[in-house]
Amino acid sequence: MSEIAYKSFREDEMEYQYNPRVSVPEYPELAKVRAAQARKVRESAKSWLNVAYGSSPRETLDIYAADKPGGPVLVYIHGGYWRSGSKEDNCNFVPTFTKRGATVVLVEYDLCPSVTVSDIVRQTRASIAWIYKNIMRYGGNPGKIFISGHSAGGHLTAMALAHDWEKEGLPRDLIKGAVATSGVYDLDMVMKISVQEQAQLTPALAKENSPFLHPPRVRCPVVIAIGGAEPKGWQQMSEDYFRFCKENGLNAEYLVVPGANHYTMSEKLLDESSPLTQAMIKQMGI
């Protein structure tokens, strides 16, 4: 039996606990279904695609128009452990919110190992700043920006909340609410699993980008959501971050989505009656 490698987990348990591709072996098929759903949305919804917010070819946004202008803006950051994923394959849920009056923006960013996690944090913050300054041209209300991210996108959501927006001449409360789902909050752990081959974190990078070392500066309501079928280690990260938000004075809610694994969490957003969708609808007031 191998020795304890991290927290209470042995070395031979780490991949299952912290690598969703291991704990959900059917993930390729689930990803294909999501991509097919997303392709239909991207082809049919009223949108502005590949809008540049920076100079890199991947520093782009897909903006989906609300059925009526002037409503809130939902900024969505996809996952993929910073080394995979795309906005094109993760827009399947868009109609759930555009039909209720929210403009939805999917953020793209560069991927490890071509860039570092620090670069990706900078890019996603830059995308949110761009959206605040420009979204009125696309029918969205810059005074009602909400962010959500899944997996690595949950981490990037946490780092957006930790940012000092006033240093950029932007409102401190630029973000009005956040929903982080199945987030990667423990970066020390990443250095102990196979994802590290592409993430290429160093102790310094992990420290610089750890949500637990950078408390939220934005004082907005936060929902920390996790799938009920996700492994204990992965759930513990969300529980810990939820407590961290509460300890730092945020209005935080912890939501367990019954029966959902890491790859079916986003599917829940296609169902208006799901607890996760309802939490987001309530937060945005739509």
Domain ranges of the chain: 4-271
For residue 148, list its beta bridge partners: 76, 179
Question: What tokens appear for 36 in the block?
Answer: 């097919």
For residue 258, is the peptide bond before it cis, meaning its omega torsion is within 30 degrees of 0? no
Q: Over its length of 286 residues, how does the chain's per-residue pLDDT go in tens digits?
A: 467 778 889 999 999 999 999 999 999 999 999 999 999 999 999 999 999 999 999 999 999 999 999 999 999 999 999 999 999 999 999 999 999 999 999 999 999 999 999 999 999 999 999 999 999 999 999 999 999 999 999 999 999 999 999 999 999 999 999 999 999 999 999 999 999 999 999 999 999 999 999 999 999 999 999 999 999 999 999 999 999 999 999 999 999 999 999 999 989 999 999 999 999 999 999 9
Q: Alpha-carbon dihedral of residues 220, 138, 157, 274, nearest 10 degrees? A: 80
Report domain 4-271's class: alpha beta
Contact indicator for 193, 18 with CB cutoff of 8 Å: yes
Angle at 220 (CA atoms; ends 107, 179), nearest 5 degrees? 45
Query: Residue 14 is which amino acid?
Result: M
Token pair 């909400």 in the structure block, residue: 146
Query: Residue 283 is which amino acid?
Result: Q
Contact indicator for 100, 144 with CB cutoff of 8 Å: no
CA–CA gap between residue 94 and residue 82 (Å, rounded):
22
Contact indicator for 124, 55 with CB cutoff of 8 Å: no
Contact indicator for 244, 215 with CB cutoff of 8 Å: yes
Three-class secondary structure of residue 68 per DSSP: coil
- Burial status of residue 235 (CB atoms within 10 A of its CB: 0-12, 13-18, 19 or more): middle
For residue 64, list its beta bridge partners: 47, 104
Contact indicator for 269, 93 with CB cutoff of 8 Å: yes
Q: Which of 127, 201, 121, 116 is nearest to 154 (CA)?
A: 121
Q: Report the run of H or E that residue 104 belongs to, with start and end.
A: strand 103-107
Q: Alpha-carbon dihedral of residues 106, 45, 259, 24, nearest 10 degrees? A: -60
Whole-angstrom CA distances from 201 to 82, 117, 188, 210, 267 are 11, 8, 9, 11, 30
Q: Is the pTM of this model over 0.95?
A: yes
